[in-house]
A = this chain, B = another copy of it.
Amino acid sequence: MTGFAFELTHRDGLARRGRMTTPHGAVETPAFMPVGPQGAVKAVTSDELAAYGTQIVLANTYHLHVRPGHELIAELGGLHRFMNWSGPILTDSGGFQVFSMKGLTKLDEDGVTFRSHIDGSLHRLTPESSMEIQSALGSDVAMVLDHCPPLPAARDEVELASKRTTRWARRSRDAYRGPGVPFGIVQGGTDEALRERSAAEIVALDFPGYAIGGVSVGEPPEAIARVARFTAELLPEARPRYLMGVGRPEDLVEAVAAGIDLFDCVMPTRNARNGTLFTSEGKLNIKREQYRRDPSPLDPSCGCETCAHYSRAYLRHLFVSNEILASRLNTIHNLAFYLGLMMKLREAVASGSFAAFRETFLAPR
């Protein structure tokens, strides 16, 4: 656990403002982690990530394991050097992709066997091998392998998955050899009793940080907010709390209200490539005819490169013309929006004005 620490600097209601220190630098929380599935946040460079306030990046163990392979990345000096990102990196366990990408061929107490979506080759992931892969990648935070049941799932199934998640969490913790720290994951679906039991078991394993898993698999937003609220309260105050895979800007605000510190989601980057852009006045689909002659920036209150230099009319033209630059400029804007939102949330919590910020942000427009 060398070089890892977490301190809370402010509280405002249940919302928290803190600082997570890692071997590759500090992360001011609450923080959003852009997702780089294959060792690159799609369409942007690591310099741009930093320029718009990215503090920590999430990379997918599954993707990097099947291509180019974690041994190759280790041989080349680790993921930080490989992707030219000198800040903190969090890696997931690979389990989420295995459970959700339909490559799963066998699930047993020891682990999961799956076929690569690239070439159909067979791979085996166990709590121990997942941590070994993450060690090879050199991430600052490594997630334990969890059993993430798909929705809808019977209560029995969720309960079995939660219990297995605990057993796998212990094995993951015991197997992990750094260079970062392992985070535990609480499962239990949307069931309060199951979440309570899972949280108690995982917290008993004494992880440096805790994630709330098994959300963002298709539940309505209210369910995500509810699970975040009651699960956050079950986690130790002094450790960082990470709500995995969430979500929309309003979901982030609600989760911060519940006391969550860390987030990741492909939404800003994926939506950007689909032409859906987040603005201070709501979402906007740039391919709509109404923007054909629109000389105004995407979001007049945004200072990103895209809004500073380009009109909606130009961005629409790039999008309908399939220009690569469309993905790029849209991604920059959406990331700037998410990262700017996190900065505002941190400021609101620090200044004790979070409730007002939340009310304004969530007010119907």
Contacts and interface: CB of A to CB of B under 8 A. Distances in A.
17 contacts: A38-B317, A38-B318, A42-B324, A42-B325, A43-B325, A43-B328, A44-B325, A45-B329, A67-B317, A67-B320, A68-B292, A68-B317, A72-B292, A76-B311, A82-B311, A84-B310, A324-B328
Contacts of A329: 45
Instruction: Report, nearest first, the 8 A-B pairs whose CB atoms are least far apart.
Output: A43-B324, A84-B309, A68-B317, A40-B325, A38-B321, A40-B323, A76-B295, A82-B314
A194 B84 CA distance: 55
A110 interface: no
A297 to B, nearest CB: 11
A347 interface: no
B45 A313 contact: no
B323 A324 contact: no
Interface in A269-310: 292-293, 295, 305, 309-310
A44, A47, A309 — most chain B CB neighbours (10 Å)? A309
Interface residues of A, number: 38
A198 to B, nearest CB: 35
Nearest to A331: B324
Contacts of A325: 40, 42-45
A237 interface: no
A45 B323 CA distance: 11
Interface in A27-68: 38-40, 42-47, 67-68
Contact of A46 (B47, B68, B76, B309): B309
Interface string A170-210: 00000000000000000000000000000000000000000
A77 interface: yes
Interface string A314-341: 1011101101110111000000000000
A318 B67 CA distance: 10
Given A38-B321, A40-B325, 10 more contacts: A39-B314, A43-B324, A44-B325, A46-B309, A72-B293, A72-B313, A82-B311, A82-B313, A84-B310, A84-B314
A61 to B, nearest CB: 15
A274 to B, nearest CB: 13
Interface in A70-95: 72, 75-77, 82-84
Nearest to A314: B82
A36 to B, nearest CB: 9
B75 A293 contact: yes
Contact of A323 (B42, B84, B311, B323): B42
A327 B324 CA distance: 8
A123 to B, nearest CB: 17
A327 B43 CA distance: 9
Nearest to A318: B40
A89 to B, nearest CB: 15
A318 B305 CA distance: 24
B76 A293 contact: yes
A42 to B, nearest CB: 6
A210 B68 CA distance: 50
Contacts of A317: 38-39, 67-68, 82
Given A72-B292, A72-B293, A67 B311 contact: no
A295 B77 contact: yes
A329 B48 CA distance: 13
Nearest to A309: B84
A282 B295 CA distance: 44
